[in-house]
Amino acid sequence: MQKVIYREWAIDTQRYWGLLASLAAVAAIGGLSALYMEHSGHWVTGMTNLVVWGTPHMFAVFLIVAASGALNVASIGSVFGKPLYKPLARLSGLLAIALLVGGLLVLVLDLGRPDRLIVAMTTYNFKSIFAWNIYLYVGFMVIVAAYLFTMMERRANPYSKWVGLLAFVWRLALTTGTGSIFGFLVSRQAYDSAVLAPMFIVMSFAYGLAVYLLVLMFSFEQEGRPLGDLVVNRLKNLLGVFIAAVLLFSVIYHLTKLYGAKYHGIESYFLLNGGIYSLLFWFGHVLIGALIPLGIIHHPALSRSRVWLASACGLVILGGLATLYVLIIGGQTYPLEIFPGMTVLDEGFGEVAAHYAPYHPSLPEFLLGLGGMAVAMLATTVAIRMLKFLPASLADEAVI
């Protein structure tokens, strides 16, 4: 491999400011949506006393999970010693921080009382998985920032492998903690499963790599930097493995639920008679998020097209959002079984608990989620323009 030279992203100034303005506009609309929901109250959203995690949480969890997965590219280079991935590591670390910040921003703005975040940061209940995750998220950003420093500062290069190993272990803990938020909730039949923790880790691999590939191909294509087939094919094949792994864990999750008779109701709801949730599961999660991208990646002709590969990455992202919508929101709309074998007519929420909880996502919720994504991409765009995150060339002869 030749000596890797990194340069700032030097696209045409007019195109750069146009891209920046577009992302800033989406982020601003998301901010205004959050202000509208905070000022008017959450009654303007589709969330209720029974469905307390809505569409913004779907976006937030996706961004947090993708942040962990985006760092996987850097980990393969430093922790596992694969030289081909080392020139890709800086962008990997940058995306990890940017995506996590975007996801946490959506969560904070959807609290209803963002000022109460100070209480959450100073008062901890260590019996709560949410308190654990505050440490995991903040620690992740600090460690990845240190990891980037060891990669970008020549005198700190000898420490890069060890800091990268710490970042790798920490990101596994972070994604495990995010999956455990749902896996520890025994009151919800859709969540109560230890499989969710490793399933979220595998999902992070797929979603983070899909976002990384899109950003890599877009940034190199816009500036005209060489991006060889060797790097793209390696990342593409890796993405195919991760997509297949997500499907495998999805099968394991549902087979585990189907094995117990008490979960037959929620499985029937997800797979057959759940209306929009069943449709999103089969057409969003399985077809759009897995089977079609796998078909594109392994097709002898389509897999050689960068446009088709970008489409496959986009479909993986859409499928990931659909997956989290079904799991997070669909899991709340299914009736609570507080007293198994008994019929609960009213549990004091002003709604009939024995029936399915209605949820209709509102436009401000959706715009807030898009705003979080825009913030992540905005931070990435500014960073690669100002600092040397991108290699000058990833042509085949430069990385062999």
Output the tens digit of pLDDT for each of the chain's 400 residues: 567 888 999 889 999 999 999 999 999 999 999 999 888 888 888 888 888 889 999 999 999 999 999 999 999 988 888 888 989 999 999 999 999 999 999 988 877 666 776 776 677 777 777 777 788 888 999 999 999 999 998 899 889 899 999 999 999 999 998 888 888 887 788 888 889 999 999 999 999 999 999 999 999 999 889 998 999 999 999 999 999 999 999 999 999 988 888 888 888 999 988 889 999 999 999 999 999 999 999 999 999 999 999 999 999 999 999 999 999 999 888 887 766 666 666 555 544 444 577 888 999 999 999 999 999 999 999 999 999 999 998 888 877 7
Q: Are 370 and 26 in contact, with CB atoms under 8 Å apart? A: yes
Phi, psi (rounded to 5 degrees) for 94: -60, -45
N-terminal to C-terminal alpha carbon distance within the chain: 5
pTM here is 0.92
Residue 276 lies in a domain: no
Residue 256 lies in a domain: yes
383, β-bridge pairs: none
State the Cα–Cα distance between residues 175 and 133, nearest whole angstrom. Answer: 9
Residue 308 lies in a domain: no
Residue 277 lies in a domain: no
State the Cα–Cα distance between residues 22 and 221, nearest whole angstrom. Answer: 19
How many CA atoms within 13 Å lie on the side-chain side of 225? 21
- Kindly write down the DSSP assignment for every residue of 333-386, as one continuous string: HSPP-SSTTS--S--SSSS-TTSPPP----HHHHHHHHHHHHHHHHHHHHHHHH
User: Which of 163, 142, 47 is closest to 100 using CA atoms?
Assistant: 142
Residue 90 lies in a domain: yes
Structure tokens at 198: 């490793």
117-151 pLDDT, tens digit each: 677 667 777 777 777 778 888 899 999 999 999 99
Q: How many domains is the chain partitioned into structurally?
A: 1
Residue 164 lies in a domain: yes
Range of 145's domain? 6-269+332-399
CATH number at residue 64: 1.20.1630.10
Residue 325 lies in a domain: no
Residue 296 lies in a domain: no
227, β-bridge pairs: 394
